């Protein structure tokens, strides 16, 4: 496994991420048409992308978790952990951007009828517990197994929670609110795609950087042990 | 033939076993010695299948149901009686003629009179004897015993001596002990952990 | 079939342990009653009946947590889990047997909670009971596996509610929906779906929770 940061991929990835992030910001503020909602709507270009990126991170974490259990792949535990870590970061950002958007749209910092927001709150709680689990079990194959099983529970929880949240609206908020979110024209869609690509690349970059860092830690510890 | 080569076990940063290798024939008796903290318990847990090695090879050609294990805990439920505990294990291990075998073992280890008492009323020595009954209940082909004499009084130790001698030729043994002199004569090979 | 014989032996063992120890079940019964009484003081006078029904679910979930925190206590304190894991039986039978006994305890707790709820707050009907039954199945299935996870950790009792509550949210939604809406079958169906999905996941993955 490569611990070297001089691995060619990372600088190239960083450059790509930078380019995409700059372009997407430019597109969002100078190219995409200003909507009826005004400036607030612009945050949606990032909010949705951040949410989708968080899902992608959790899915990747779940895939690696499956490899831990199924193929007894040692590396996969660390990869799963880092992916979920990124997922939680992006999840928290989803809550923050969503909250800002809700404040300017509805007037409060939180809206229970925003399904996406509620779902992310539940997922945030769930994956935070993942970290609590990890920190309270000594490192080893046991911890890898428990983390992997829990991560897979998370994957199953997503569709079930979506359904649950929708079902809950019938007895929590009988009044129908119009669902937020833009219907996108061509130029808006293009801007959205670029910003989503930027976010995914950024997530991939952070993932690889953190992974490399953690692998160096592991290697360092192994070397220290071997010297004893 | 049990085979180990370059066996390593690490828990997080701590390396408990390093570069361990040995072989045990189907009727062999491996005596494992070493000071506290040298990894005897870890090695025996690996042999029993309770842990997996971090590196190296370990080949234990015995099914789970053919292995008998004694650890530091007697592995019995304190709120249940000796009979109830052995009945449970007898069912889980699919022991043929469960009741007869349970009775026979309890008698051989001097626990027959206490069979209907809860294990939490047992002394340390009695618990160890019950653990021995549990380990031998299913007539295992491999016995992994971690300090089997601990807690036993003279009488209990004599009973265990007798059991080991009788089972010596019909099973493989991996035994860790602080008192190798006692079972030295039974051993076919030795492993000293640093 | 051997598998179900194992499950039966293990479930019987757990029920027998509780019969001897007599600590978890009385605690659960007393807890659920006390919680319902607290709820009387929590609800403002003009609260709807629906709010009270919702609270029954809070009581059920937290009573379940109380019971679940003790689920693997014997195995953990005395290390007996090693004995069960070493046996040739399928490890998922450990989960299945334990979950059945947890379900039995939950059922007994509900036998006390539902009449008490009917007495204090009124309005216990068919769909609510169906909801309670299915919810308890889900709680027993998922809770048992998570209790085993928590038992393997250093944090133990502290960890179980954290792991469990996010997974309990869909159960609560299903249960409350079955109790208060005029379309309970949809929610009962949802609970059945949750139970089936998570029971299968628990059954398949328990092996990895108790082995290295």
Contact B50 C74 (CB under 8 A): no
The tens digit of pLDDT for each residue in B16-55 reads 898 899 999 999 999 999 988 889 999 999 999 999 998 8
Q: Do A161 and C170 touch (CB under 8 A)?
A: yes
Residue from B12, B18, B46, B194 to probe the interface with A (highest A Cβ count within 10 Å): B12
pLDDT digits (tens, 9 = 90+) for A90-125: 999 999 998 888 887 778 888 787 788 899 999 999
Give the pLDDT confidence score for residue A176 in this predicted structure. Answer: 45
CB-CB: which of B52, B69, B73 is closest to C86? B69
* Partner B contacted by A139 (CB < 8 A): yes
Angle at which helices B82-92 and B124-136 cross, to 10°? 20
Q: Is C3 on the interface with B (CB under 8 A)?
A: no
Cβ neighbours of C155 in A, within 8 Å:
132, 136
Scored b (16 or more CB within 10 A) or e, A39-68 reads eebbbbbbbbbbbebbbbbbebbbbbbbbb
pLDDT band at B73 (very low <50, low <70, confident <90, very high): very high
All structural domains of chain A with their residue ranges: 39-173+184-227
A52-90 per-position pLDDT tens digit: 999 999 999 999 999 999 988 778 999 999 999 999 999
Q: pLDDT tens-digit profile of C131-143?
A: 999 999 999 999 9
- Predicted TM-score (pTM) of the model is 0.91
Query: How is residue B81 annotated by DSSP?
Result: B
d(CA A218, nearest CA chain B) in Å: 9
Query: What is the average pLDDT score of chain C?
Result: 92
CB C8 within 8 A of CB C97: yes
Q: Compute the CA torsion angle C115, C118, C119, C122 (nearest 10 deg).
A: -170
CB–CB contact B11 A140 (8 Å)? yes
Q: Which among B56, B54, B20 is positioned nearest to B38, based on CA atoms?
A: B20
Distance CA C199, CA C211 (A): 19
| Minimal CA separation from B191 to chain C, in Å | 24
**pLDDT at residue A210, rounded to an integer:** 93
Assign B14 to helix, strand or coil: strand
Number of H helices, E strands in chain B: 6, 8
Question: What pLDDT is recorded for position A35?
Answer: 66
Task: Compute the average pLDDT of residues A11-38.
Answer: 79
Check if C82 contacts B (Cβ < 8 Å): yes
pLDDT in tens, C52-105: 888 888 899 999 999 999 999 889 888 899 999 999 999 999 999 999 999 999
Which chains neighbour A (Cβ–Cβ under 8 Å, 3 or more pairs)? B, C
Shortest Cα distance, chain A CAs vs residue B13, angstroms: 7
CB contact under 8 A, A138 and B15: no
Cβ distance B67 to C86 less than 8 Å, yes or no, reads: yes
Q: In the predicted model, what is the mean pLDDT of chain A?
A: 85
Q: Distance (Å, rounded) from C-alpha C117 to C-alpha C120?
A: 5
Interface check for A135 against chain B (CB to CB < 8 A): the answer is no
Longest dimension (CA), chain C: 59
- Nearest Cα of chain A lies from the Cα of C148 at a distance, in angstroms, of 10
């Amino acid at each position: 496994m490569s611990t070297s940061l001089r691995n060619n991929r990372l600088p190239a990835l960083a450059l790509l991420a930078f380019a995409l992030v700059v372009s997407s910001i430019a597109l969002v503020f100078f190219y995409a048409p200003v909507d009826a909602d005004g400036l607030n709507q612009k945050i949606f270009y990032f909010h949705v992308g951040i949410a989708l990126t968080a899902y992608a991170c959790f899915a990747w974490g779940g895939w690696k978790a499956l490899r831990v259990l199924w193929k007894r792949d040692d590396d996969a535990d660390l990869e799963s952990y880092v992916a979920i870590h990124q997922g939680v970061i992006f999840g928290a950002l989803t809550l923050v951007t969503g909250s800002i958007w809700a404040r300017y749209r509805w007037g409060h910092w939180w809206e229970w009828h925003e399904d996406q927001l509620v779902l992310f709150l539940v997922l945030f709680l769930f994956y935070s517990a993942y970290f609590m689990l990890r920190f309270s079990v000594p490192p080893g194959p046991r911890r890898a197994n428990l983390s992997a099983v829990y991560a897979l529970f998370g994957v199953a929880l997503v569709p079930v929670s979506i359904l649950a949240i929708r079902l809950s609206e019938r007895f929590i908020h009988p009044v129908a609110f119009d669902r937020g979110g833009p219907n996108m024209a061509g130029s808006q869609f293009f801007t959205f795609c670029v910003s989503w690509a930027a976010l995914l690349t950024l997530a991939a970059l952070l993932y690889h950087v953190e992974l490399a860092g953690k692998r160096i830690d592991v290697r360092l510890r192994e070397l220290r042990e071997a010297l004893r | 033939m049990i085979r180990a080569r370059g066996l390593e076990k690490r828990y997080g940063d701590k390396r408990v076993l390093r570069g361990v290798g040995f072989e045990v024939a189907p009727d062999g008796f491996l005596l494992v010695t070493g000071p506290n903290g040298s990894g005897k318990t870890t090695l025996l847990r690996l042999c029993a299948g309770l842990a997996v090695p971090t590196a190296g090879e370990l080949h234990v050609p015995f099914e789970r149901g053919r292995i008998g294990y004694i650890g530091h805990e007697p592995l019995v439920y304190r709120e249940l009686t000796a009979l109830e505990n052995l009945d449970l294990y007898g069912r889980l291990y699919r022991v043929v003629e469960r009741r007869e075998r349970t009775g026979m073992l309890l008698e051989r280890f001097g626990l027959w009179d206490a069979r209907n008492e809860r294990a939490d009323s047992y002394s340390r020595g009695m618990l160890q004897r019950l653990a021995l009954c549990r380990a031998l209940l299913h007539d295992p082909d491999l016995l992994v015993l971690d300090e089997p004499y601990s807690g036993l009084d003279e009488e209990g130790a004599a009973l265990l001596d007798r059991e080991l001698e009788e089972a010596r030729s019909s099973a493989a043994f991996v035994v860790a002990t602080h008192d190798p002199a006692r079972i030295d004569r039974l051993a076919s090979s030795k492993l000293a952990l640093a | 079939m051997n598998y179900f014989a194992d499950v039966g032996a293990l479930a019987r063992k757990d029920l027998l342990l509780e019969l001897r120890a007599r600590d978890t079940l009385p605690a659960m019964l007393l807890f659920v009653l006390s919680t319902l009484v607290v709820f009387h003081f929590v609800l403002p006078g003009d609260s709807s009946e629906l709010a009270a029904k919702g609270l029954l679910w809070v009581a059920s979930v937290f009573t379940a947590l109380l019971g679940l925190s003790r689920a693997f206590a014997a195995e953990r304190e005395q290390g007996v889990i090693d004995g069960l894991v070493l046996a040739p039986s399928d490890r998922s039978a450990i989960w299945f047997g334990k979950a059945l006994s947890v379900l039995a305890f939950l059922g007994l707790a509900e036998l006390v909670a539902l009449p008490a709820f009917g007495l204090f707050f009124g309005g216990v009907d068919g769909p609510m009971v169906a909801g309670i039954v299915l919810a308890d199945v889900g709680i027993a299935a998922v809770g048992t596996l998570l209790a085993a996870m928590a038992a393997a950790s250093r944090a133990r009792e502290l960890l179980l509610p954290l792991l469990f509550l996010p997974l309990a949210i869909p159960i609560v939604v299903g249960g409350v929906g079955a109790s208060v809406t005029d379309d309970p079958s949809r929610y009962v169906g949802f609970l059945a779906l949750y139970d089936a999905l998570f029971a299968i996941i628990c059954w398949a993955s328990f092996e990895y929770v108790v082995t290295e």
